[in-house]
Amino acid sequence: MRITEGGKKKLREFDFDTMSLAVPQHWNKQWTVILFDIPEEKKSARDALRRKLRDLQCYALHRSVFVHPADGRDEIDFVIQTFGIQNYVIHFRTPSLGYGEGRARAHFKLLP
């Protein structure tokens, strides 16, 4: 048996409300960084993205920069596709957050 594309879409819609990002037990010292610059005419999508990132327990380094120690690339892709804002969001993995790393580590209770 196979799930149809329509069925997959319905499953993803259901997962949107229940998805989460857990802090890894064995962190590989890589951060997922989410950057966005969403225009004013898409303000509702921008606000919804911020709410969803907070729901996913991402930490706001800046109003338009969120981080999480888990590899959340699939989840972030799903969220930005759901809101139709793929052209305005960038996310990547990095080993350092520069001066903001101490605050992020403290937020996630990660030892230096």
Domain residue spans of the chain: 28-108
Residue 7 has what pLDDT? 62
Cβ contacts of residue 16 below 8 Å, gap of 6+? 78, 79, 82
Angle at 17 between CA 60 and CA 5, to 5 degrees: 120
Residue 52 has what pLDDT? 95
Rg (CA), the chain: 15
Query: pLDDT for 60-85, tens place per residue?
Result: 999 999 999 999 998 899 899 989 99
pLDDT band, residue 96 (cuts 50/70/90): very high
pLDDT band, residue 4 (cuts 50/70/90): confident
H/E run at residue 102? helix 101-108
Mean pLDDT on 11-39? 86
- Please give the C-alpha separations between residue 98 and each of 14, 21, 24, 40, 73, in angstroms, as whole numbers: 36, 22, 21, 29, 21
How far apart are the C-alpha atoms of 30 and 69, rounded to whole Å? 6
Q: Two tokens at 61? A: 């380094």
CATH topology (fold) of 28-108: Alpha-Beta Plaits (3.30.70)
Cβ contacts of residue 80 below 8 Å, gap of 6+? 49, 86, 89
Q: Which of 3-7, 52-56, 78-82 has the lowest mean pLDDT?
A: 3-7
